[in-house]
Amino acid sequence: MFFGAGPWRDLFTQSCFKVYSLSHRSQRPEHRTHKELSFERDVDVNLFETTIRILGGLLSTYHLTKDPLFLDKAVYLGSRLMPAFRTPSKIPFSDVNLGKGTAHPPRWTADSTLAEVTSVQLEFRELSRLTQDPQYQVRLSRFVMLHLKCGRKHDGLVPMFINTNSGQFSHKGAFTLGARADSYYEYLLKQWIQGGKVEDDLLEDYLQAIEGVRKHLVRQTGPSRLTFVGELSHNRFNAKMDHLVCFLPGTLALGAHHGLTGAHMDLALQLMETCHQMYAQMETGLSPEIAHFSLQTSSSSDVHNLLRPETVESLFYLFRFTQEPKYRDWGWDILQSFNKYTRYCNFLHKQNLLDKMESFFLGETLKYLFLLFSDDMDLLSLDKVVFNTEAHPLPIWTPPPK
């Protein structure tokens, strides 16, 4: 029996949805939760990270609890993030000062990364839908996504950096589905699903991108015939795959579930096997942060593990869509390795631990493990919700807004 009930449900409830209990307490007038959560702080925050974690979390909790407190706080935060879009190109700055209402690029460059500017759309679109205030969706969808759609791509693949002053791509010869680019491709599909599958331009961009991935980035190793996704640097292929890329099997499977070609599901199954082997072939049973593949013989890896969610996220999707028990078994093996070697700290090498735990371990990794092990196959149905890139479920619009 898997963890539909018992201690793991308690752990999940306490660590991932602790905010749910606040909604009940906040209904009492004497409780000060609405005053205790303030975003008027003289502090720089990252637009992308704040949107996917905090704004997405507030919107998701609002839908789960129906408590207007969380929508009020989402609107409050969304308005504090808007200065990021005051740029000559309308491509947002990476950093916002919530208290001062100012924004700027990173200290070392005028560029924003592809993922930063294209992975906040689900959240701001939903904020516009709930408030009937178009400013959030217009700035993100019309300005940013249309700008990128009109930009020069490489068979649907987009460079990793974009200049906030000119709006032009920089580092034009570098293409990856790993760090700094990954969730752009994820959000193309998920925006299309969120909107009720009527925004053909998003679907077109997603399908073109996946064909570009297949054409330029997908390869197989030598004897073991593992399919992986590498990187392209000025027309030179690099057989390097970040653990972050293991989001792709789940995204491909999600698209196939929503009616896209079965070839996407075939590729999802192949990549899922590779992501599993990135764990299974390590002495600790924990995937490296980066794997280097060989097209002829053996492979090597960077051995540190950050408790990332991407593989268990994809295992959740694959199990939901195929009901194959092996995906639960693989998730259980990963969980056992986390228990044995990491103590939920960042794992470096064997017993050498960094006393640090990223928030995505609670917000995503444990959540997807919980959903993978749940006996309730309708829990957060993938026909009713779409998960943002921080694993916060948002509703699919039915019918889609006009």
Q: Residue 172 CB: number of other CB atoms within 10 A?
A: 14
Q: What pTM value is reported for the model?
A: 0.90
In the numeric block, which tokens belong to residue 71? 């929508």
> Are 43 and 129 part of one and the same domain?
yes
3-state helix, strand, coil split of the chain in percent (to 5) is 50, 15, 35
pLDDT tens digits, residue range 140-160?
776 788 778 777 789 999 999
- Residue 230 CA to residue 177 CA, distance in Å, equals 8
Section 362-368 average pLDDT: 96
Query: Quick check: 28 pLDDT over 50?
Result: no
Q: How confident is the model at residue 29 (pLDDT cuts 50, 70, 90)?
A: very low
Query: Quick check: 298 pLDDT over 70?
Result: no
Section 128-135 average pLDDT: 95
Q: What is the model's pLDDT at position 175?
A: 96
Query: Quick check: 111 pLDDT over 50?
Result: yes
- Residue 115 CA to residue 176 CA, distance in Å, equals 11
Region of residue 158 (left: phi > 0; alpha: psi -120 to 50; beta: else): beta
Q: What is the model's pLDDT at position 35?
A: 66
**In-domain check, residue 402:** no
Q: Could you tell me which residues are beta bridge partners of residue 305? A: 347
Domain count, the chain: 2
**pLDDT mean across residues, the chain:** 88
Is residue 355 part of the annotated active site? The answer reads no
**Which amino acid appears at position 341 of this protein?**
Y
Query: Which of 304, 388, 368, 381 is CA-nearest to residue 341?
Result: 304
Query: Quick check: 368 pLDDT over 60?
Result: yes
Q: Which of 126, 242, 273, 310 is catalytic?
A: 310
Section 251-255 average pLDDT: 98
Q: What is the model's pLDDT at position 78?
A: 97
pLDDT tens digits, residue range 330-360?
999 999 999 998 878 887 665 678 888 999 9
Q: What is the model's pLDDT at position 12?
A: 40
Domain endpoint, select from 84, 109, 135: 135
> Are 94 and 180 part of one and the same domain?
no
Is residue 364 part of the annotated active site? The answer reads no
Is residue 10 part of the annotated active site? The answer reads no
Query: Which of 307, 328, 308, 306 is CA-nearest to residue 317?
Result: 328
Domain, as residue range, for 260: 173-394
Q: Is the separation of the CB atoms in 96 and 84 below 8 Å?
A: yes
Dmax of the chain from CA atoms? Answer: 68
* Domain of residue 206, CATH code: 1.50.10.10
Q: Which of 95, 199, 242, 289 is catalytic?
A: 289
Lowest mean pLDDT among 22-26, 199-203, 225-229, 332-336: 22-26
Q: Which of 44, 49, 72, 211 is catalytic?
A: 49
Q: Is 389 annotated as ligand-binding?
A: yes
Q: Which of 111, 116, 182, 364 is catalytic?
A: 182
Q: Is the separation of the CB atoms in 34 and 68 below 8 Å?
A: no
Is residue 310 part of the annotated active site? The answer reads yes
* Percent of all residues in the chain with a pLDDT value above 90, rounded to a whole number: 72
